[in-house]
């Protein structure tokens, strides 16, 4: 049985085919048009579809995929975890899917979920399968754009792959400040959670996940896809 996963994020749209928990194929781009999605799905016998979008209300499928069981991830979708959030209707679907993905990777464990994308989210899932909330802050590229947009002379810089403590130019000062700021922020959250619970697991995902260089974290670039596939199996793919 093959599941088509469509994750329309703030920056990238990703599609994946998953069968028996294994990702068979993936494609991504700023947008995936109907023809490209249809051609991608046509290579596999798709039995079920799940979609989610952070850009718009819902993902519309090309006509060739109509008639296939389709779960549109939303606040009312049945989940294998319990959401304990004061405003569940405002909770980002990517955060929900990442939390479910964390429950697949680390069943019956406390997990800190760090997603470094357009925004940075740090969320907590308890060993009892309860999503207990988290925090949101600007991602690396957003920080670079803000420093450029809200100052008179600071340039727009690319965020580097690595950073020193001291920049030797304004460009380096911006680059290292952004990257080190992200690293120190995430280090602070991990250390604070581990002060409360030494055994908490940490999983990092998102386009800027490589910014975190700690050896005591798990990197899983497909965390949201894993979570969406689990939700599909739980809610509508049975």
The CATH number for 25's domain is 3.30.420.40
Gap between the Cα atoms of 103 and 22, Å rounded: 16
Same domain, 50 and 117: no
In this structure, the dihedral spanned by the alpha carbons of residues 187, 229, 28 and 179, taken in order and rounded to 10 degrees, is: 0
Separation CA 17–CA 39 (nearest Å): 13
- Select from 54, 72, 90 the last residue of a domain: 72
Whole-angstrom distance, CA of residue 181 vs CA of residue 146: 14
Angle between helices 93-105 and 223-235 (to 10 degrees): 90
Tokens 């979008």 locate to 53
Q: Is 3 left (phi over 0), alpha (psi -120 to 50) or beta?
A: beta
Residues 68 and 79 in one domain: no
- End residue of a domain, out of 52, 72, 92: 72
80 and 3 inside one domain: no
Q: Would you give per-residue pLDDT tens digits along the chain (238 residues)?
A: 899 999 998 888 899 999 999 999 999 888 888 888 988 988 998 999 999 988 787 788 888 899 999 999 999 999 999 999 999 999 999 999 999 999 999 999 999 999 999 999 999 999 999 999 999 999 999 999 999 999 999 999 999 999 999 999 999 999 999 999 999 999 999 999 999 999 999 999 999 999 999 999 999 999 999 999 999 999 754 4
User: Residue 168 has which token pair?
Assistant: 């030797």
Q: How far apart are CA 152 and CA 157, in angstroms?
A: 14
| Same domain, yes or no: 1 and 110 | no
* 111 and 85 fall within a common domain: yes
pLDDT of residue 236: 55
Number of compact structural domains in the chain: 2
Is residue 157 located within the same domain as residue 188?
yes
Judgement on whether residues 62 and 1 belong to the same structural domain of the protein: yes
Residue 113 and residue 194 in one domain = yes
Indicate if 68 and 82 belong to the same structural domain. no
Same structural domain, 121 and 149? yes
Q: Examine the fold and report which residue of 56, 72, 88 is the final residue of a domain before the chain moves on.
A: 72
What pLDDT does 31 receive? 83
Are 54 and 122 in the same domain?
no
Mark whether 36 and 24 lie in a shared domain.
yes
Q: Which residues are tagged catalytic?
A: 94
Q: What is the pLDDT of residue 29?
A: 87
Q: Is the pTM of this model over 0.85?
A: yes
Domain limits for position 52: 1-72
């Amino acid at each position: 049985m093959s599941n088509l996963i469509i994750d329309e994020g703030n920056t990238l749209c990703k599609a994946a085919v998953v069968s028996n928990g294994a990702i068979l194929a993936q494609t991504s781009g700023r947008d995936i048009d109907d023809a490209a999605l249809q051609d991608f799905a046509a290579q596999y016998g798709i039995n079920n579809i799940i979609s989610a979008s952070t850009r718009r209300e819902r993902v519309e499928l090309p006509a060739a995929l109509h008639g296939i069981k389709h779960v549109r991830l939303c606040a009312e979708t049945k989940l294998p975890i319990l959401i304990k959030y004061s405003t569940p209707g405002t909770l980002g679907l990517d955060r929900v899917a990442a939390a479910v993905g964390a429950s697949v990777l680390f069943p019956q464990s406390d997990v800190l979920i760090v997603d470094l994308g357009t925004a940075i989210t740090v969320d907590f899932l308890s060993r009892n399968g309860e999503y207990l909330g988290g925090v949101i802050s600007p991602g690396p590229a957003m920080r670079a754009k803000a420093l450029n947009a809200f100052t008179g002379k600071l340039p727009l810089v690319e965020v580097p792959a690595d950073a020193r403590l001291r920049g030797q130019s304004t460009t380096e000062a911006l680059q290292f400040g952004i990257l080190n700021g992200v690293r120190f922020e995430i280090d602070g959250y991990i250390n604070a959670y581990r002060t409360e619970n030494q055994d908490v697991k940490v999983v990092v995902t998102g386009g800027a996940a490589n910014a975190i260089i700690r050896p005591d974290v798990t990197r899983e670039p497909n965390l949201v896809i894993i979570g969406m596939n689990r939700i599909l199996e739980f809610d509508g793919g049975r």
